[in-house]
Chains A and B, each alone.
Chain A
């Protein structure tokens, strides 16, 4: 009933879950890499730095 028609091309989805019972944010980039942080500003910085710091084999960040 609502929303836009499906966008053409691959969808770029960023997702951030605030893990219940904790202060931890768990982020998943559209490339599939994951990251945890306790600060949304830092989380978005990591997310939007893609592809920097998102390649396989690079150490996963753990913000704080």
Chain B
């Protein structure tokens, strides 16, 4: 019985980082919909089309399919599509069938992310996309990556909403005993679909991830403030400082180290999710050694999650008669996220379209 969270349609999802989309065709699958991404030649505008030629379903993201200017030429029989997905050429005849078009998807490039709307295009509102300005703001340096995981996206949401797992799964990297021991507060903004989970550690061991990058010796005050904009964007506002050092009365915080940890949780298919991860900092921004250390260390941490979640999905899938879970206080935020997702799934459901 594979673990499966239903998909929430009529939502924006991160399909790629800006730097991944160019004049090479890029294939991605989101909510089971196959997409091909590229940029126009002159303006560099991102284009997202359905990744199947209308003729014989050849994947348009695969060679020898190619771009001819802003048009995409199917590598199988030459069916050619413009940026709106309209077929403008078929081989050997003048008449292009009126039904010859592939779906085009609303797309927004913002904060170095390519957001794609999956659902009814008429409902797509770019203003509703949550922001992650630190990803490309001056004064910030970001390391990033993406790992596909063979697990239900709900398992990744669970993982990220309950950071007590850092103590056990990521010990020696970002986990210390205090993470699992410190109580959390959970807040749900129902209308905005945001779950906030905060864990403020007054006196904690400094994990190697921060000790080696900041140079702080000794114990720290460590704050973790999660802001999950369901379904896709997860922000972890991290503040660390030498123990007892707090922000100033005027709100400034010259002695705190602020790190923004960003995830985009993009369901790919049943039991598959894209794990986009990024670590942004506004300190030691000129220090290339710190950049490389954070890149390597965080990649290791992400891969620990990937390994664990691949295993968990397999394990849940091997349960023959279903299973029960046990939730405790640490799960308060994760449960809130599940409920918000269930509501978004319900809102996004629509009558099943007939397949012609």
Contacts and interface: CB of A to CB of B under 8 A. Distances in A.
A2 B140 CA distance: 14
B300 interface: no
A15 B187 contact: yes
Most-contacted residue by chain A among B137, B191, B328, B335 (CB, 10 A) = B191
Given A13-B188, A15-B187, A19-B183, A2 B329 contact: no
A16 B198 CA distance: 11
Interface residues of A, number: 27
Interface string B173-203: 0000000000111111111101000000000
Interface stretch (B125-133, B213-221, B244-252): B125-133
A15 to B, nearest CB: 5
B184 A18 contact: yes
Interface in B228-252: 229, 235, 237
Contact of B194 (A4, A5, A17, A48): A4
Contacts of A4: 128, 130-131, 192, 194, 229
Interface in A1-29: 1-5, 7, 9, 11-20, 23, 25
A49 interface: no
B327 interface: yes
B227 interface: yes
Contacts of B194: 3-4
Contacts of B185: 15-18
Nearest to B336: A44
B332 interface: yes
Given A44-B339, A48-B339, A18 B332 contact: yes
A13 B194 CA distance: 10
B158 interface: no
B134 interface: yes
Interface of A: 1-5, 7, 9, 11-20, 23, 25, 30, 38-41, 43-44, 48
Interface of B: 127-128, 130-134, 137, 183-192, 194, 227, 229, 235, 237, 260, 327-329, 331-332, 335-336, 339
Given A16-B185, A38-B329, 8 more contacts: A1-B137, A2-B131, A2-B227, A11-B192, A18-B332, A39-B327, A40-B331, A44-B336
